[in-house]
Amino acid sequence: MFIGKLLFKTTGLMTKRMRMNTCTKLGETLAQKVITTGEKINADDVSVFLKDIMGKRMKGIRVSTNPDVACEFAVKEVGLPKTTAKAVVSNSLSSVWSSPKTGNALLDLRIEAMDHSEAINTAVHETQHLLNRTSSLKMKLAKLLGKLMPKKVEKATQEYGTVLNLKNQFLQGDLICSLNVYHANVGYVDNTAIKTLLEKFKCKNTKELKKTIREIIREDVIIPKCDKKNLTILKALAATIKDEANSYKVGGIAEKYFDMATGKVASGDTTSETIAKLYEKTVSVLKSEARKQKLNNIKKFFGLKPKEYAIAKNIENVEEISISAEEIEDLINKGYFKNEEEVNTVLKAIKETLYE
């Protein structure tokens, strides 16, 4: 731990273990505030904690509760069109933004309407994303590359940005839909994470589970006709899903810590921990599929016939998205949407994206 702190102090880098330990400590700190004062946690609590941990390296990092601030950051710092930025922010509960050019980052944390467990889970979840984007070695190298070769990075962003975003949305959407959970950042499953996954995906063992995940990846991610982009997309998604797995894992740990401290006893793991386990298995399969695409690229280089791995998606087998009146009321009461019409508008947009 001492070496990790020294590394961060001198270079600004955090190892995965240090990021996870920092987030675990944040979860315990937020939980203790609620237990001792009875007050809700807020974005200021997270900001104070980060300033204490990061010191001068907090420069360029902001914590905000205002969605308009997030929209402005996405437009000015990230370079998104205004309409796209507004759509992304309005359809998310909280988010993390980072600028590839300036290195500035924004933690958009809207947790005021959440109950204690969900707020703690979400705050810790998003903080892990923030630390990964600002302090991990891969992200530091990516920023350095952006400064050294800005035109090349910009070209790659234009070529892969949109397709990566879509592939990521479809993959995570299908995985969580298959798991059939209402809230990803709060609640518990009835069993351990791995037993729940086997039950939900109707698999006898982890080998069958990976096979099912592989089919989802080949449907949602891999571009037909052995497209050369597949290798880059699979490697990028592996990094993205790994980051999500870490966030869900540490968020679930924080939620469980608070619930146990306040006398809530659950027989199974948290929903977040279950998603984390699912995503860890998905990363393993993504890396395996990436190796296959690398071999395909080598075959094509030598004029040999590559193997097709893409699977056409069977839309008829996809369940129609629906939401109950109680769930709509819950979303409105928590401030996620203003009225039922707004909820239905978002559902319609999702359906059109998935089914048309």
More confident residue, 218 or 333: 218
pLDDT at site 355: 41
Size (the chain), residues: 356
pLDDT at site 1: 56
The model's confidence at residue 239, banded by pLDDT at 50, 70 and 90, is very high
The model's confidence at residue 318, banded by pLDDT at 50, 70 and 90, is very low
Selection from 89-98, 143-152, 154-163, 268-277 with the highest mean pLDDT: 268-277
Question: Cβ–Cβ contacts within 10 Å for residue 103, how many?
Answer: 20
Mean pLDDT of 270-284: 96
The sign of the dihedral angle between the CA atoms of 33, 95, 249, 327 is positive
Calculate the alpha carbon distances from 224 to 150, 186, 219, 302, 337 in Å.
30, 37, 10, 20, 38
The pLDDT of residue 330 is above 70: no
Phi, psi of 289 (to 5 degrees): -70, -35
Q: What is the pTM of this model?
A: 0.84
Indicate the domain borders of the chain: 1-148, 150-319
Distance CA 249, CA 124 (A): 10
pLDDT at site 354: 44
Distance CA 128, CA 29 (A): 15
For 178-220, write each residue's pLDDT tens digit. Answer: 888 767 888 899 899 999 999 999 999 999 999 999 999 999 9
